[in-house]
Amino acid sequence: MKTIAGYTDRISVRPGETIAFKVSVESGPATYRASLVRLFNVDGHREGPGLQERRVPAAFDGEHQGRLQPIPNGSCAVIPRGAPLEGLGSFTVALALWPTTPDRGRQTLVSTLSPDASSGFALELDEAGALALALGTAAGAWRTTTGVPLLAREWITVGASYDVASGAVRLWQRPRRRYPLRDSHADHAATAPRDLATAGDGDLTFAARRRGDGSTRAAMTGHYNGKLEAPRLAARALPPGPVAVDDPALVGAWDFSLDIAGERISDAGPHGLHGHTLNLPLRAVKGAAWTGQWHDWRAQPAHYAAIHFHDDDLADAGWTTDFTFTVPDGLPSGLYAARLENGGEAEHVVFHVRPPQGRRTSDAVFLASTATYMAYGNYRVMNRSRLYELYLGVLPELVPSDLFLNERPSYGDSLYSSHADGSGNALSTRLRPIVNMRPNTTLSAFNDDGFLLGWLDHIGQAVDVVTDEDLEREGAAALEGYRVLLTGNHPEYVSTAMWDAVQGFVDHGGRLAYLGGNGFFWRVAWHPTLPVIELRRAEDGSRPWEAEPGEYYMAWNGEYGGMWRRGDRTPNQLLGTGFAASGMDIGRPFRRRPESFDPRAAFLFEGIGPDEVIGDFGLFLGGAGGYELDRYDRLLGSPPHALIVAEATGFTDNMVVVKEDMPATNWLLGGGDNPLVRADMVFFETPAGGAVFAASSISWSAALPCKGFDNNVARITGNLLRRFLDPAPFLPPPG
């Protein structure tokens, strides 16, 4: 079992640049040994060449002192303490909320309560989900509650007031729904001790309260699940109802419809008590004013004046750096890892080395699908879903990393999971241990990319490496000067900048070898400063959760989320094929079509017999066609001059056509009969002298290592690479 974990601050570095490693010793000895390795094939638990790693001398080699580093989950917002807060005595606080787990224990809405509860106040939901007010006293928190639980997923306006002189406390709840199934209206009065220090000794917080000094995520507790909107605070006791923005006692009126694309919390009140969010709660979510008329938050921000907080949000684990590594000159571009050992299974903290700035060390570049690695990061579906075995069609395979992950929910989950409150997990960060972005795990996107790297090493072909993050930051410049771009087996999650960079590469004569399936499918946005991606699973597509209606536009760039196909940018237009079917029970081979004998594509099949079965083997599902397949389709933009040179068919009924190809309920789903269920191997030329090849199957790369890399899948891929590296331009067909 793994006993140690880590992550890096960067996913790619060039010579001369420094990368930081953050490590937590989860169990076992307090010390660990670190070494640098270069990785090729990263799969050692299936039949194949085994884990291929080569030691590389590094300054951090040797023993290191370890420590356990916890992860502070949960989002909130913080308003730094200012003069109006410091002198607070009598007060009124009011806001709207949409709670999602009101019965899940005490949760904080607004707080100035000190960690020891000796001063300040906290507006809360109590253990039963009713509105409560806590006031700090020397003996600890004094509390009172309405005793009327709130309804989950219903907008309600609430408030509380306290008068220092009399000790009078008022609590009130006003449901916003016209016909509530259960009345959650309440008015409550009580008398608290007089002359309390209601200002607290620190910051004002929303959706959590402080448990220690400071305004960091680690100092927070009492996290709230749900949406908050329009919190207002006045420095006097007011009757139940809204706090007017022109009230002379107004302390703050925070407007969450402002700065939706960022982490700033803006105060529209007279004192400018601005703040910030922690751990990236979800913004661009519909608020209490949403009517369904507007779906783009930029068109009517007032309808999106809410923030959705979760008690399991995670943007950055925040671990302390244990050691660093400055990449030396001459270190070849490739996939590397800090190998960490302290008695259990070794941990590999992976990263990529790029060539020196302004130089290429190969004419070919491999695009590491780091956005997809993040999207699947800490994928736990196989451990949680009762339907997963049915979905796979086979018994799920669990490996030690899955068991390790099960015991560490704080590591966060993938974009395939839901939060504790049932809402979809729309954000994924790289600043945490991603247990399945490691050797010997069940994440095919990362594991099977190692088969391609191992094959390239076997044939002695040097290749530079670039990551999705590099493409996002640098655009087309990250690919400038390369002749061939190789994708991995599953480049599924793509931002606009990433798509534009690849499209620009192809448009300017580059040769694109798409060596996977289900690529360029989901549209994501990157956070402007953090390695975090945002996804809105909008209309259609095979998806484990759906975004709330009206929440399809992403917060960070305002783009419409969901499938690229919904934005009329289909993978077919770029790659020649697009996602057609998925199924995980068996793989199937490819067979040549008549187009494979066309002189335009004959180079691909040098050394391949006319009736030769291609890829009736593979380390994943036993065939080169499998898992997820792509199909040529003119209606979806596949180029008319493209050649379908081979296809894989004959799948079982567990290989099911994608739901976006089913405009209505259709019994004809499975691969046994459905003509839409196939993998089309495609080749076509581009006007600038370049070309595109699509393998159209996730399982293609997993067939490369078979028979000691001596097989017809490897032969076709080698033929492809040799011709794509040849500077002779490709000529479009006549006419």
Cα-based angle 334, 376, 535 (whole degrees, multiple of 5): 110
Distances (CA, A) of 592 to 293, 572, 648, 679, 694: 52, 21, 9, 12, 14
DSSP string, 610-624: TT--B-S--TTTTSS
| Range with lowest mean pLDDT among 140-144, 543-547, 572-576, 685-689 | 543-547
Q: Which residue has the higher pLDDT, 194 or 300?
A: 300
Give the pLDDT score at 394.
67
Beta-carbon contacts of residue 690 (< 8 Å; ≥ 6 apart)? 506, 508, 509, 510, 511, 512, 729, 730
Question: Is 415 buried (19+), middle (13-18) or exposed (0-12) by CB count in 10 A?
Answer: buried
Cα–Cα dist 116/136, whole Å: 8
pLDDT band at residue 353 using 50, 70 and 90 as cut-offs: very high
Q: How confident is the model at residue 664 (pLDDT cuts 50, 70, 90)?
A: low
Q: Is 269 helix (H, G, I), strand (E, B) or coil?
A: coil
- Over residues 256-275, mean pLDDT: 97
Taking the domains of the chain in order of start, what are their residue ranges?
4-70+329-356, 76-309
Q: Find, among 535, 544, 547, 485, the residue nearest to 694 by Cα.
A: 485
Query: What is the band of 90 on the pLDDT scale with cuts at 50, 70, 90?
Result: very high
Question: What is the DSSP code string of 48-65?
Answer: SS---EEEE--TT-EEEE
pLDDT tens digits along 373-421: 999 999 987 666 666 666 666 677 777 778 888 889 999 999 999 999 9
Q: What is the pLDDT, as a whole number, of residue 668?
A: 55
Cβ distance 648 to 624 under 8 Å? yes
Q: Determine contact, residues 538/552, Cβ cutoff 8 Å.
A: yes
Alpha helices in 619-699 (DSSP H): none
The overall average pLDDT reported for the chain is: 93
pLDDT per residue as tens digits for the range 38-62 = 999 999 867 889 999 999 999 999 9
Give the CATH number of domain 76-309.
2.60.120.200
- Which helix (H) or strand (E) segment holds residue 503: the answer is helix 496-507
Fold: same for 4-70+329-356 and 76-309: no
**How long, in residues, is the chain?**
735
Question: Nearest-CA neighbor of 462 among 373, 396, 540, 365?
Answer: 365
Give the separation between CA 338 and CA 320, rounded to whole angstroms.
Answer: 16
Whether 600 shows a pLDDT value over 80: the answer reads yes
CATH code of the domain made up of 4-70+329-356: 2.60.40.10
pLDDT digits (tens, 9 = 90+) for 295-328: 999 999 999 999 999 999 999 999 999 999 999 9
